[in-house]
Amino acid sequence: MSDVPMPPDLLAQILSWLPVAPLLRFRSVSKTFRALIDSDYVIKLQLNHSLQTNTNLNIIFGGDRTLCYLNLDSSAKVVNKIDNPLYFAIFETVILGSCNGVVCLCTTEPDNEIAFWNPIVRKFKKIRLAPAKCSEGLGRGVCIKGFGYDHVHDDHKVVRLVQYCSLHNELVHSKIEVFSSKTDAWREVGDFPYYLCYRRNFNTFTKGALHWLVSQKPGKRVDFLIAAFDLTNDELRLVPRPELSNEHFHVNLAILGGCLSMVCHYPMKNVDIWVMRSYGVKDSWTKLISTTDVKLIRELDFLRPVSYSRSGDEVLFEKNFDSLYWYHLENKTVKRFKVAGMPRLFVTETFTGSLVQVNIGNPTGSGAKKEKIEKKDDNKRDDFLSKGFRLVL
């Protein structure tokens, strides 16, 4: 540490307060800085600090092959275009979700190409998944994917729910399959004994589990339940829902501030936003917002909370896949949020800027050799850039 006259632990604490962009530049200062910034300790420290302080938050806009993102912390409010790792795939690109700054992209069935991608670091790992299992003669089924993180085994996972119903709406095939990035393999983990209420696929991953709206009988959307699949122990359970009126409404799940949330839209009347403050506790469901503001409910087909503002006094909403709105919790006012460069139609996903990257499987044989060569080339480049640069603290 001769080139950095400071204890490594103290330096790591200082670096953890920085966004990803300057950290990537500082890797070229010296070998010491590069080794420290690339260490698991600093990567996790920086991520945890960002999550705890609600900083380094970004919104990625998807919907077609072109992707872009917006840093909510930046005063410039500039939409940054970025290369899509699956741009040249034949099928449409779908954003499955994000965890720890890693965004999971996939192509639709039957292509099944997956990219674990860090948009800020601009590195990705890409694989092609095996097709979903099905039996002949079942007709057309439903395949829904989700993305999450198993913190116990440090494993990013893709979950696939494959469901077939007969002509009489009876479940004839309903299975959960899990792909582990750590083992680079699929596992069939059990049956899924519920009917999906909504087939629109939005990733609702929080508290280590993926969530879906389901029912025990086909077409019974009023008596819906919330099913949760735990990525650590492969356990399927039910999460209590809030007490709701018997009026006709549309409902969808979302994640807000790391908590499970629910949007209840009573057509032409109002929208309620519920948040589960303590996960798994029914009485912790709190009605955060109830609004009749025409900006949100007029011509409403779809509404989803995206994020709190950094101060926590506003909530950002995505409406009808074409507009964003800020809702002020105290003043109960709504204002349009528009930034130059935003696409005309989009689906949003939030992600935290981090240095985290996904490794797929245990590298062996030629794969390990290729990775070693790539790492050697990166080290050569960093050594070249570091010459003549020293940071004086």
Label residue 120 by pLDDT band (50, 70, 90): very high
Asked if 261 and 378 sit in the same domain, the reply is no
End-to-end CA distance of the chain: 12
Asked if 119 and 12 sit in the same domain, the reply is no
**Poorest-confidence range of 29-38, 147-156, 289-298?**
29-38
Structure confidence at residue 379 (pLDDT) = 53
Asked if 24 and 83 sit in the same domain, the reply is no
Helix (H, G, I), strand (E, B) or coil at 324: strand
Asked if 88 and 189 sit in the same domain, the reply is yes
**Poorest-confidence range of 43-52, 69-78, 214-223, 314-323?**
214-223
Residue-wise pLDDT for 298-334, tens only, equals: 999 999 999 999 889 999 999 999 999 999 999 999 9
Q: What's the whole-number average pLDDT of the chain? A: 85
Specify if 243 maps to a domain. Answer: yes
Q: pTM of the prediction?
A: 0.86
Nearest residue to 382 (alpha-carbon basis) of 2, 22, 4, 29:
29
Asked if 173 and 279 sit in the same domain, the reply is yes
Asked if 20 and 92 sit in the same domain, the reply is no
| Structure token digits, residue 97 | 């979700």
Label residue 384 by pLDDT band (50, 70, 90): very low
Share of the chain above pLDDT 70, in %: 86
Specify if 391 maps to a domain. Answer: no
- Helix ranges restricted to H, the chain: 8-15, 20-26, 31-37, 40-53, 294-297, 365-386
Measure CA 188 to chain center: 23
Q: How many domains does the chain have?
A: 2
Specify if 361 maps to a domain. Answer: no
Burial of residue 2, with CB atoms counted within 10 A of its CB: 0-12 exposed, 13-18 middle, 19 or more buried: exposed
Asked if 175 and 240 sit in the same domain, the reply is yes
Structural domain boundaries, residue 169: 54-352
Specify if 3 maps to a domain. Answer: no
Structure confidence at residue 366 (pLDDT) = 38
- Mean pLDDT for 250-274 is 94
What one-letter code names the amino acid at 287?
Answer: K
Query: What letters, b where the CB count within 10 A reaches 16 and e where it falls short, cover 329-356?
Result: eeeeebeebeeeebbeebbbbbbbbbbb
